[in-house]
Structure 1
């Protein structure tokens, strides 16, 4: 029987919680392991390991991104949490994204 290729068709939600320094280290490892195409960052500034395709998003910029696509959404809860912004941007994550 031929092997079937498994294709991710769902979005994956990952929560990294704990000490801020530890959480940021885990996030960097996950980011590098998942190698997303375009990542939206809901935070104050992009980390040094972010790619050129990544985009920094502030809360007021969320409406302009509705209908766009991203491979990953990263929300920095250490800088505050805006549920409306998270919900709006969650819809940009393509199937197989995180």
Structure 2
């Protein structure tokens, strides 16, 4: 499956992905809803919450919302240098 890019504008980096990183891990998070990946990424980009993820995947496509070399605010441990700065977050819609 190819990953289609629909990246957040750099003007929102301060809110969505303020730190650069070299990813070392992939974390998969299940959203337990049936919204298309496109909608999940659009909602994440559109709002101003400090909540974000790199890629949303549904049964048809994968859509990337954040650059992989920037952090995401997802379900990490809150320790930017320890964990969140080394992960790529993928949300899976089931």
TM range (shorter): under 0.3
Q: Which has the larger radius of gyration?
A: 1
Return the TM-score normalized by structure 1: 0.26
TM-score between both structures, scaled by the size of structure 2: 0.27
Tell which has more relative contact order, 1 or 2 (C-alpha 8 A, sep 6+). Answer: 2
The structure that is helix-richer by fraction is 1
